[in-house]
A and B are shown apart, each in its own frame.
Chain A
Amino acid sequence: MTRMLLAFARRLLPWGPAGEAAIGDLLEERARRGRGSFWLLREALGLCIHHAAFRTRQALRPAVARPSSPRRDSVMSLLLADVRYAARSLRRDPGLCLVVLVTLALGVGANVALFTLVRGVLLRPLPYPEPDRLVIVYENDRLRGTSREGASAPDYLDLAAELRGFAVLGAREGADRTLGGPNEPLRVSSARVTTGWLGALGVRPRRGRLFTTDEERPGHGNVVLLGEGIWRERFGADPAVVGTEVRLDGEPRTVVGVLPATAAPPGFTERIWEPLAFDPEQTFRGRHNLLLLGRLAPGVALEQAQAELSAAMARLEKAHPDDNLGRGAWVTPLQEEVVGDVRTALLALMAAVGVVLLLACANVTHLLLARALLRERDLAVRASLGASPLRLLRLLLVESLLLGLSGGLLGVGVAVLGVRVLKAMAPAELPRLAEIHVDRGALLFALAVSLLTALVFGLLPAARAARREATAALRSGRSAGPGAGALRLRRALVVVEMALAVVLVVGAGLLLRSFARLVAVEPGFRPEGLLVVEMQLAGPRWAFPRSWPVHHWPAFDAFSEDLLERTRRLPGVDSVALAHLGPGDSGWTTRVTVEGRPEVRPGEQPEAGYRPVGAGYFRTLGVPLRRGRTFSEGDVAGRPLVAVVNEAFVRQHFPAGDPIGQRIVVFRAPREIVGVVGDVRYGGRDRDAPPVMYFPLRQAPQPALALVARVAGDPLGIVPALRREIGAIDPELALFGVTTASGFLAESVSERRFTLNLIAAFAVVALLLAALGVYGVLSHLVAERRREIGVRLALGAPPASVFVLVLGEGARIALVASLLGAVAALGGGRVLQSLLFGVGPRDPLTFLAAVPTLLAAALLASALPALRATRVDPADALRSE
């Protein structure tokens, strides 16, 4: 018994000869005083406790709390004691706490901010009753391979009468109107809708009423609904506005109601609503101008609705082969339409920011592991005093939870700032941006993330500590370094960290190269100094001729000459031209046939872009003339009808021959091709230029116009003067869409820029965190191998070799990680596929560039520990054992 006891006490006293002597004292005293075993036991235990307490206090910053007696304490008070203890011990280590909290706050904050964005855009249900039953119905065309086409009015009427799977089916056609009034005329976006459109959404008016079916009849629709925004801006939120008269495009309309701001689904810009009336004379099946929105009947699944719709469209195709050959239709949830193609980008960002959080966790785990190693003896004392492994585990978990939750709290602060930054940075096209803010859901997310992180980074050290036997910890000598097992663990952790960083670096690299390629693409015109202003000739004074096709519109000729003359006189204007559509507008297409070619089956005729442009358009834009001539002042109504085509059109229709002098038929009118111009990428720089036909504006006049002007200096500078000149022609004309070509080109890539900026930022942070991890592990390594390094140096190894030794360790980690990361990136690159342009997801250059980047980061991070290793004093290192 005595022997066992002494052996045990001896193991608890790692004191060298001093411990031996202390036990010798014990035995001597016992013999002299004739004490029994119990005395020995008591004294030995007291000795151990005193010694362990002292050593712990000395070796560790955190103090040992006075051991409480567990049997009398309730669970709650135990927990409180744990929390108090954890807080106290954390407070003693402010440096560590600061690093951990900052890391966590950034990790959690970035995640919460991006989650808020993703939730606001992708996940939040639409603000309508039972939003999951709302669907958009698109027509598609098998012959042309188009999938998102509108429906024709006759198709809509047939479908609405026939389909049982839809509780309501509504139609909408967008239009722009000039809202006249006491102030400057305002161009507003309007939706012409059937009663079913607003009915399907379930919109309730804030004031007044919705449209009646009576107002859907042609000639009865001289009423209008105002959106809440317009109501506040233009009418001062006057409740008496209902029943008053406003002017739309110069025509009187009665306001019958005010709709809430949510009446326009996200992504739709309408601010006023007009009834959509179908004049049987004006509708035909070949004109697909309506967007259909339906509310599925209760209990009807999307697939059922789709099946019924397909059957109905098949019947229509059979009944009207001339117009409906190859036409089908498909349904898609409104929610998905609203989200659109930003989904991939946002999910990629979410994945990236998740990786950043993982890295933050890994780094905190490093820190806590290092701390846990220092504390093993403290824990061992607790264990030897009777703390159960479970209790110890809980203690450590409480500590990491405390850290995690504090980090999370700070993270919410970071997130609030982050969301503000994101909203400022985000492209305007991102749907539902305005609705986004950090709310309860985001806070819950933050809580969940911080708890999860705390568990992740707390569990590893805690599990290790709980597993280790108390005696083993107490026995290990006072100068013994942290365990080799921990080092292995940390090394594995840092390899994973670096590999994750590689994935992000590769992703950012791919996006960067895509972006560079995209921006380098020539748009086909010179954007510098180019001003684009849109306007609409509307009102009784500009009555559009009712004949079709229109080749002559005298009022337009006068307007065009007047406007161009006035604009030319403005200071700084080099050249100016009118066009139906500006260069930033992808425009629309129409069927075209080449005269003398064999008849094509209806529905299979090729289409090409339709762009009436005024004289001087090509010169003003800087579009090069390839062959023939461009339009002149002489190409007016009454003269032979002519056309200019672009090179893509020539490639498609005249791959071998000369197009000049050939005739094309558009809208039943033959036109002679007089020139070929260079391609302009109207559809965006990430797409090939489409085949386009240009017509003289004065042989195909349009009420919707774009004025393009090349200006010396700031193009926007002449806008006020331009407004005055246009006001002088007609005060009812509103200018809208005022932009510069450079502006809309930049805007066209803003979504990519946004994704790129964020992913690049995440990649840098990831690299930084991973480098910190490498630094931590190598410092650990150098501490661990101090003695070995000392021996090497003592035996005459040059310091440089020690430096290389440590650096090599860093390089090894980086190489293994690069390999792992590259493999992961090969798999992950597919996520980015749709965001790439001009580079594949396995672009070898990007992968090759990522490895040196990582290697550099790792070597940089290794340099400091390596330098420290060379400064190890051999004598000191050897003595310290």
Chain B
Amino acid sequence: MLAVLRLGEEAYGASVLDEIRSRAGRRVARGALYVTLDRLEDKGLIRSRYAEGGPERGGRPRRLLALTPAGRRALRDARATLLRLWQGLESLLERG
């Protein structure tokens, strides 16, 4: 979802996969990505629409992804939670 958020208008299967791979620095199974995307869509956290694909795609459509308001809310909540959990811990980490 972060990748979708970051990529904005350019978020679709291949770009999201690349984004995750480069940012997280680890391999993500292609199938797992699509499955996850499907599940997120089923939960109403993202939505997708289909755009024309170019010749490099063999004419196949691109599935463009975007966050739904609920998705944004979920990300915000997750971030807030994470931050709350981290509060005052950085210094402790530095010391160790």
The chain A residues found within 8 Å of chain B, CB to CB, are: 6, 17-18, 20-29, 31-32, 43, 46-51, 54
Known: A23-B60, A54-B35. A28 touches B30 (CB 8 A): no
Known: A21-B13, A22-B13, A28-B14. A51 touches B61 (CB 8 A): no
26 A-B interface contacts by CB (under 8 A): A17-B61, A17-B63, A18-B34, A18-B63, A21-B62, A22-B30, A23-B60, A24-B13, A25-B12, A25-B13, A25-B62, A27-B57, A27-B58, A28-B56, A28-B57, A32-B56, A46-B29, A46-B30, A47-B31, A50-B29, A50-B31, A50-B34, A51-B34, A51-B35, A54-B35, A54-B39
What 18 new A-B contacts, CB under 8 Å, besides A17-B63, A24-B62, A31-B56? A18-B34, A20-B61, A23-B58, A24-B58, A24-B61, A25-B13, A27-B58, A28-B14, A28-B53, A29-B17, A46-B30, A47-B31, A47-B34, A50-B29, A50-B30, A51-B31, A54-B31, A54-B38
Q: Which of B1-30 contact A (CB under 8 A)?
A: 12-14, 17-18, 29-30
Q: Which of B50-93 contact A (CB under 8 A)?
A: 50, 53, 56-58, 60-63
Residue with the greatest number of chain A CB neighbours at <10 A, chosen from B17, B18, B31, B53: B31
**A67 to B: closest C-beta gap in Å:** 15
Residue of A whose beta carbon sits closest to that of B54: A28
Contacts of B31 in A (CB 8 A): 46-51, 54
Contacts of A27 in B (CB 8 A): 56-58, 60
Contacts of A24 in B (CB 8 A): 13, 53, 57-58, 60-62
CA A18 to CA B38, docked complex, whole Å? 9
Contacts of A46 in B (CB 8 A): 29-31
Q: How many residues of B contact A (CB 8 A)?
A: 23
CA A868 to CA B10, docked complex, whole Å? 47
Pair A21/B29 contact, Cβ less than 8 Å: no
**A677 to B: closest C-beta gap in Å:** 91
Q: Tell me which of B30, B50, B56, B62 contacts A43 (CB under 8 A).
A: B30
Pair B32/A50 contact, Cβ less than 8 Å: yes
- For the A-B complex, the count of residue pairs with Cβ-Cβ distances under 8 Å equals 76
Residue of A whose beta carbon sits closest to that of B64: A21
CA A640 to CA B30, docked complex, whole Å? 119
CA A29 to CA B19, docked complex, whole Å? 13
Contacts of B35 in A (CB 8 A): 50-51, 54
Pair B58/A21 contact, Cβ less than 8 Å: no
Majority secondary structure, B binding face: helix
Contacts of A6 in B (CB 8 A): 58
CA A24 to CA B62, docked complex, whole Å? 7
Q: What 3 A-B pairs have minimum CB-CB distances, sorted nearest first?
A: A50-B31, A24-B60, A21-B63
Q: Tell me which of A17, A20, A47 contacts B30 (CB under 8 A).
A: A47
**A385 to B: closest C-beta gap in Å:** 14
**B65 to A: closest C-beta gap in Å:** 10
Pair A21/B60 contact, Cβ less than 8 Å: yes
CA A26 to CA B58, docked complex, whole Å? 10
Residue with the greatest number of chain A CB neighbours at <10 A, chosen from B48, B53, B60, B62: B60
Residue of B whose beta carbon sits closest to that of A6: B58
CA A695 to CA B18, docked complex, whole Å? 117
Contacts of A31 in B (CB 8 A): 56
CA A43 to CA B28, docked complex, whole Å? 11
Contacts of B17 in A (CB 8 A): 25, 29
**B84 to A: closest C-beta gap in Å:** 32
Pair A21/B56 contact, Cβ less than 8 Å: no
CA A596 to CA B95, docked complex, whole Å? 140
CA A29 to CA B38, docked complex, whole Å? 20
Residue of B whose beta carbon sits closest to that of A20: B60
Residue with the greatest number of chain A CB neighbours at <10 A, chosen from B34, B53, B56: B34
Residue with the greatest number of chain B CB neighbours at <10 A, chosen from A20, A25, A43: A25
CA A23 to CA B31, docked complex, whole Å? 11
**B53 to A: closest C-beta gap in Å:** 5
Residue of A whose beta carbon sits closest to that of B53: A24
Residue with the greatest number of chain A CB neighbours at <10 A, chosen from B12, B30, B39, B56: B30
Q: Tell me which of B29, B32, B63 contacts A22 (CB under 8 A).
A: B63
CA A24 to CA B32, docked complex, whole Å? 17
**A756 to B: closest C-beta gap in Å:** 59
Known: A27-B58, A28-B57. A21 touches B50 (CB 8 A): yes
CA A48 to CA B50, docked complex, whole Å? 21
Residue of A whose beta carbon sits closest to that of B15: A25
Contacts of A43 in B (CB 8 A): 30
CA A51 to CA B34, docked complex, whole Å? 8
CA A51 to CA B31, docked complex, whole Å? 6
